[in-house]
Amino acid sequence: MAAITYDQATLVYPGATRPSVDALDLSITDGEFLVLVGPSGCGKSTSLRMLAGLEEVTSGAIRIGDRDVTNLPPKERDIAMVFQNYALYPHMTVGENMGFALKIAGVSKEERAVRVREAARLLDLEEYLERKPKALSGGQRQRVAMGRAIVRQPQVFLMDEPLSNLDAKLRVQTRTEIAALQRRLGTTTVYVTHDQVEAMTMGDRVAVLKEGVLQQVDTPRNLYDRPANKFVAGFIGSPAMNLVSVPLTEGGAVLGGHPVPLPRSAVAALAQEGGRTATVGFRPESVEFVGAGEGFPVEVLVVEELGSDAFAYGQLHGGTASSDARRGPLVLRADARKPPSKGEVVHVAIRPGEVHVFSSVTGRRVSQVER
């Protein structure tokens, strides 16, 4: 096992106008499960491939433990990678697939058999060792790919969207298995996904990337409670945080024609910027339904009833707040037993201490939510 360090690691593809990964500074501790997450094209898979040695670093350095591996070939980095498409050999049995890398490395037949059986036991694959990949389900093939990585006993596991080919139910089950297995093995793991729910449920910490630039790295809870900027706020959370551009007043802001108090520190920071607007954010569960005149009005467009939860999707009813800073309609968590009706105008207020404020100029956070 070993720690990992990206030190101003940058990759610029030939002919590109901007870096695919731009001066990435990231430290991953020994035994940590770190998830790289972000939208398509953000540089997360490229960052992983740089660590694996599959992409050449343009500038900066990458270290595994005390070794600078920036210019080392993949086979000398002591890493094992699990790919999206599993990459199993169809003519080999499960056992042969899992032990093939050891065979190439010159490990004895007896030692290979011991390691393969041990990995098969961990992954509940013992009864499938003599089968070919075509006789397995998608989830079982994914576990074989995991087993092939485990038998190598590397310092680092690298996983590039390994669950994306599975159906929704199996994906939930398998991500739990992977997280539990990593805890048991204690191997430093870097995991790439575009699914922020997957990232939040699996990672000890999560690193959010956008256009090759690291936006924030923190625990799932801190990312959710204290996003560093509008992008992280809108990306992390399902449903996403509501983000609305609002005009400022002396005591706060105006949302839907109604005043919204803001923290004094936020008002002071915004005043220094000289802007007349800000972006107010609030989570769907951070609102309470109130009487007319007590909060801002929202016209309900769609209601999703999920059994234990209900979410109302709507738009501001009247008022002057613009919607350019938010993505889609407002989302409100409602009483699952008595959700509002489609077409109904409800009045909601943001709970005290649960409003997030972001600069309209820089997009950076200017308030601190206290928990």
Looking at the predicted structure, is the pLDDT value of residue 108 above 70?
yes
Q: What integer pLDDT is reported at residue 35 of this predicted model?
A: 97
Q: Dig out the tokens for 186 from the structure.
A: 């204690």
Q: What integer pLDDT is reported at residue 319 of this predicted model?
A: 45
The answer to whether 36 and 207 have CB atoms below 8 angstroms apart is yes
Distance (Å, whole) CA 63 – CA 280? 40
CATH of domain 239-359: 2.40.50.140
Report domain extents, the chain: 4-230, 239-359
Q: For 274, left (φ over 0), alpha (ψ -120 to 50), or beta?
A: left
Q: What integer pLDDT is reported at residue 324 of this predicted model?
A: 41
In which element (H, E) is residue 333 found? strand 330-334
When pLDDT is averaged across residues 199-204 and rounded to a whole number, the result is: 94
The answer to whether 265 and 359 have CB atoms below 8 angstroms apart is no
Q: What integer pLDDT is reported at residue 328 of this predicted model?
A: 66
Report the percent of the chain where pLDDT is more than 70.
95
Q: What integer pLDDT is reported at residue 41 of this predicted model?
A: 92
Q: Tokens 């204290």 sit at which residue?
A: 226
When pLDDT is averaged across residues 131-151 and rounded to a whole number, the result is: 91
Q: What integer pLDDT is reported at residue 234 of this predicted model?
A: 93
Domains 4-230 and 239-359 share a fold: no
Q: What integer pLDDT is reported at residue 214 of this predicted model?
A: 98
Q: What integer pLDDT is reported at residue 269 of this predicted model?
A: 85
Looking at the predicted structure, is the pLDDT value of residue 323 above 60?
no
Q: What integer pLDDT is reported at residue 243 of this predicted model?
A: 95
pLDDT tens per residue, range 248-298: 888 788 888 888 888 888 888 888 887 789 999 999 999 999 988 788 999
Looking at the predicted structure, is the pLDDT value of residue 183 above 70?
yes
pLDDT tens per residue, range 46-65: 999 999 999 999 999 999 99
Instruction: Return the bridge partners of 248, or none.
Output: 253
Q: Dig out the tokens for 163 from the structure.
A: 């669950």
Confidence band of 322 (pLDDT split at 50, 70, 90): very low
Q: What integer pLDDT is reported at residue 9 of this predicted model?
A: 97
The answer to whether 36 and 26 have CB atoms below 8 angstroms apart is no
Q: What integer pLDDT is reported at residue 325 of this predicted model?
A: 38
Q: Which residue, among 37, 61, 355, has the nearest Cα to 209 in the 3D structure?
A: 37
**H-assigned helices in 69-167:** 94-104, 109-122, 138-150
Distance (Å, whole) CA 370 – CA 77? 43
Q: What integer pLDDT is reported at residue 318 of this predicted model?
A: 64
Q: What integer pLDDT is reported at residue 326 of this predicted model?
A: 42
**Fold exhibited by the domain 4-230:** Rossmann fold (3.40.50)
Looking at the predicted structure, is the pLDDT value of residue 370 above 80?
no
Mean pLDDT of the residues in the chain: 90
